[in-house]
Structure 1
């Protein structure tokens, strides 16, 4: 954020300079009133009135133009911040957790909108209010004292507003963010919600979360509204009081009649930015809370690293004493060591909860290891830029995990913007290699068939076949497939076995996780996991025989 703000410094410096001239030009109406009462009325000079009116029009036009340019500068600054930070936030947060990325971007958008809002312009005006105090003292000492006292009271009101609403506003924004995230999750799983009869329960749960957030938000807004009303009363009262004080001073002969009205205009303008900041305090508090959350989340994310581009790997995988902890801190995997050569298939089996899916994610580079190391062709995964490494890995997760877009976009991993012709060929080739080409051609628009959120529009079996084609995209040298036949019929499973044989024939290393042994016929070796530990590792037939002996012994 600091670097991005530094890049936007020219915008902010220009806005500050424009604010100086804007506030200088705001003196024009007060000067105009002085001239009207002290010169025009006293002398009857019509030409004087004409020229000072023209001068006032020019000053106010320049003021309006500078104010518009300042607002444009602040909006441009917010857009530049977005261009500089949004890609980094998304890239760094997506490496950790997609929900965290969504919340981080929501917080960043709150900060960005606050920078481009009118309240930001008011904050640029506040530092120049001493200019109006100085002019008030030039009119008369007691007018300056009145302006100073009124300013002090308004700043005290602003401080009290901050103290009264900061904690409540932060709680409200957190509650509303949590409610929005929960609503998004329910919306993406609406079929399951309806099928399980959870619609009413989920609606009530969402309403309860939303009601709490809205309650806290309304409390903060009510409190802020009271302080805003108080500040408006003070400004209007001081503006009128300045007329009364000016009249007393004029009666005593200390100031002219024109200074009476000028003092009222002057004090009104001096206090207006402070009142605007108080009125926009919820925006400021919301942006501050969002920035604090963003800083806390991003502080735990490693900074971007410049990677040396490594040569194309052949697909030799080495796993050395790998360990991973779950969200609760308990070990999910530990002590996993295995190697897979190009053209070889390793089968991974074990009971539910043994850590097979976690191992697949580690080998695919989806989650980092907390102990041990994973290497491809001798280079640690951490030595690769994640997207560059992913080009060489074909990963099929347990759930197909398709995205909103066309079939072709999903197969090509949404890389079609650069070179459409090559992507078309690669997507079709991947589908053919996965045995999904004929299936895709039977869809309403073939490869251009659009899918909804989470790949809606395909059956589970069709989605898994498309996801398998995605894993084959670009002929990766390492393929990790987690339960690839979970949703397939016998024809689909036969096509899968043929596809895997083709991948090994071209030299790809394959790690296949499965429950059904039929799909593991091509596996040279088997790794058996139990409780996150490697229980058995060896040639497939030997491991199968030992498992059979253990099963018979347990039965006896």
Structure 2
């Protein structure tokens, strides 16, 4: 199919289009399989019309041999067709799984927490599972229904009419199934996502739930969510299962009706006995794909909805293009009139921030809670995109870099530290497969965490556990600091890096900031405690999302920390001699 000018084709459709050769093969095999399905009807026709009247055993043996060979060929072709369909699903997954995973990662940065979590990955699984199941086979067999009906008409018009009426009824039932199952299946999918999100959040906050006596209440919420899901899922299953049962009963009734019509024709000597059986088998076979399609309609509807969601998602989040690779930044960070809006929100939380830092500068960002400090540094590292203004490294805006290339020049320690399952060495090296031991140890030493690591039982090979659960909060924060320093990045951004540190950790943090500045890096630190800004030379004060002050540390701190309330005048006391004393 030729592409329409100006219309962007779906990535999913393109991935399936790449498998068109396999689909052509499946179509040809479906042709052969459906022709071979005639084996049973022809065999019964020959037995009743030739073998029984002639009583010829050699003819019967010959028919059995031929039928056995054809049945075997049909089974082999059916097996190959199913395997090809399964591999089409696998090929689709291989073509898109990285793109879908990328959208899962990027989606919260664009629309905030109001996203579907891991739903895109589940959608891809639904599409792949459907392609590898029996559903597509039914749709490939449906176009052959007219062939079977034509053969029924060739036997006799009345047999053909009976089969045609049955086909019309079942096709109508398929249309009814489509309309009745669409909304229940959609509702069940949404309820399943809500239930899964509740389970995941409860698992992450298990300590809070147990320690604060929230387990029973959260259990009740889970029960309510699960009950809604079960009701919705049962409604979808009832619709699909009920219509499937009706279709099966109608198909059996049709088979009996064809037998009755055949018997009537034989009584009136308008057909042979073999036509009775052959017509019954053919009519049943003609409607078998319709029956199979109805039975798998629930999975078809789920796959179609998943396909539509994935198509919309991939269109909204196109693949990132690889820009021209720029030289590593070495001299300057500039922030030009930056204004920030949280993903999925419309409220400005950072407005008109402008400043510049040179290589070797250290900036401390201070201000009350909610003043926009964390939002600003998310813009500095390229996590959030400003709605106005630009953040530049050596004059190049951050959006001129690919995220992978930009990440090599940035070290980031977020406020909420979370490590990945793996070893300490892997987490420090950012899971770089080409990381060297020297580079990992150098980052650990710069962060002052090398001695702590080698005292562990397995040293750098210690498993940190899921979300870093095997380490204390302070240990995890220090390992995350080493991760931020790995590779000697030019821009290092630390959001409250000492929130979980003891005195030893604070001293190591100060040494790390000074060492990074001495080698020419720019360090930005968000802090609530004075120890956090001890090693910087510049201070930025934020209040209500606006820049209140910026400049050399001593000058700004003197301005910000000066008393705001005029001290009371000395109280004058009059002595007995009439002399005023203060």
Same fold (TM over 0.5): yes
Q: Does 1:306 align with 2:322?
A: yes
Whether 1:542 and 2:559 are equivalent positions in the alignment is no
> More helix per residue: 1 or 2?
1
Residue in structure 2 matched with residue 396 of structure 1 by the alignment: 413
Distance across 2 between alignment mates of 1:551 and 1:32: 103
Alignment of 1:473-512 (within 5 A): 473-512=486-525
State the match for 1:362 in structure 2.
Answer: 379
Residue in structure 1 matched with residue 30 of structure 2 by the alignment: 19
Indicate the SS of the match to 2:548.
strand
The whole-number CA distance in structure 2 between the counterparts of 1:480 and 1:194 is 35
Which residue in 2 is equivalent to 1:196? 212
* SS of equivalent residue, structure 1 residue 96: helix
Query: 2:282 matched to 1:282?
Result: no
Match of 2:79 in 1: 68
In the alignment, the residues of structure 1 paired with residue 353 and residue 179 of structure 2 have an alpha-carbon distance, to the nearest angstrom, of: 54
Look up the match of 1:457: 470
| Equivalent-residue separation in structure 2 for 1:451 and 1:443 (angstroms) | 11
Distance 1:236 1:390 in 2: 65
Equivalent positions of 1:131-530 (< 5 A) are: 131-314=147-330, 316-326=332-342, 327-416=344-433, 419=434, 422-530=435-543
> Which residue, out of 105, 120, 137, partners 2:136?
120
The separation in 2 between residues aligned to 1:354 and 1:299, in whole angstroms, is 35
Q: Determine which structure has more spread, i.e. the larger CA radius of gyration.
A: 2
8 Å CA contact retained: 2:506, 2:531 = no
* Matched-pair contact (CA < 8 Å) for 1:94–1:101: no
- What is the deviation of 1:297? 2.9
* SS at 1:239 equivalent: helix
CA distance in 1, matches of 2:204, 2:430: 21
Distance change >3 Å, CA 344–CA 440, structure 1 → 2: same
Q: How many residues align?
A: 552
Query: 1:553/1:106 Cα in 2 relative to 1: closer, same or farther (>3 Å)?
Result: farther
Contact 1:365/1:390, CA 8 A, preserved across alignment:
no
SS at structure 1 position matched to 2:340: strand
Residue 527 and residue 494 in structure 1: after superposition, are their counterparts in 2 closer, same or farther (change >3 A)?
same
Whole-angstrom CA distance in 2 between matches of 1:527 and 1:360: 12
1:40 matched to 2:51? The reply is yes
Asked whether the 8 Å contact 1:139–1:263 carries over to 2, the reply is: yes
Name the SS of the counterpart of 2:382 in structure 1: coil
> Which of 17, 38, 60 is equivalent to 1:6?
17
Q: Does 1:50 align with 2:74?
A: no
Distance (Å, rounded) in 1 between the aligned partners of 2:438 and 2:283: 72
- How far, CA to CA, are the matches of 1:362 and 1:26 in structure 2? 64
Instruction: Supply the distance in 2 between the matched residues of 1:361 and 1:29 (Cα, whole angstroms).
Output: 69
CA distance in 2, matches of 1:452, 1:79: 30
Say if 1:188 and 1:454, in contact at 8 Å, map to a contact too: no
Secondary structure of 1:314's match?
coil
CA contact (8 A) 2:29 2:77 kept: yes
| 2:99–2:319 contact (8 Å) kept in structure 1 | no
Residue 299 of structure 1 deviates from its aligned partner by 2.9
Stretch deviating more after TM superposition (479-488 or 532-541): 532-541
Unmatched runs of 5 consecutive residues or more in structure 2 = 1-11, 110-114, 570-582
**Residue 15 of structure 1: how far off its partner (Å):** 1.2
| 1:328 aligned counterpart, secondary structure | coil
1:101 deviation in Å? 5.3
| Alignment CA distance shift 1:555-1:357 (3 Å) | farther
Structure 1 residues 316 and 100, CA, compared in 2 at 3 Å: closer, same or farther? farther
Runs of 4+ in 1 over 3 A off after TM superposition: 98-101, 550-556
Normalising by structure 2, we get a TM-score of: 0.92
Shift of 1:315: 5.1
1:553: Cα distance to partner?
A: 5.4
Aligned equivalents of 2:439 and 2:317: distance in 1?
Answer: 34
Structure 1: unaligned runs, 5 residues or longer? none
Q: CA deviation at 1:390?
A: 0.5
- Aligned residue in 1 for 2:573: none
The 1-side partners of 2:303 and 2:566 are apart by 65
Per-residue CA deviation, residues 185-231 of structure 1 (Å, 9 max, x unaligned), is: 21122112212221111111112111111101101211222111110
The match for 1:78 is 89
Confirm or deny: 8 A CA contact 1:175 1:213 kept in the other structure.
yes
Question: Could you give the per-residue CA deviations for residues 67-88 of structure 1, whole angstroms, max 9, x where no partner exists?
Answer: 1111101110000001101101
Give yes or no for contact 2:526–2:532 (8 Å, CA) kept in 1: no
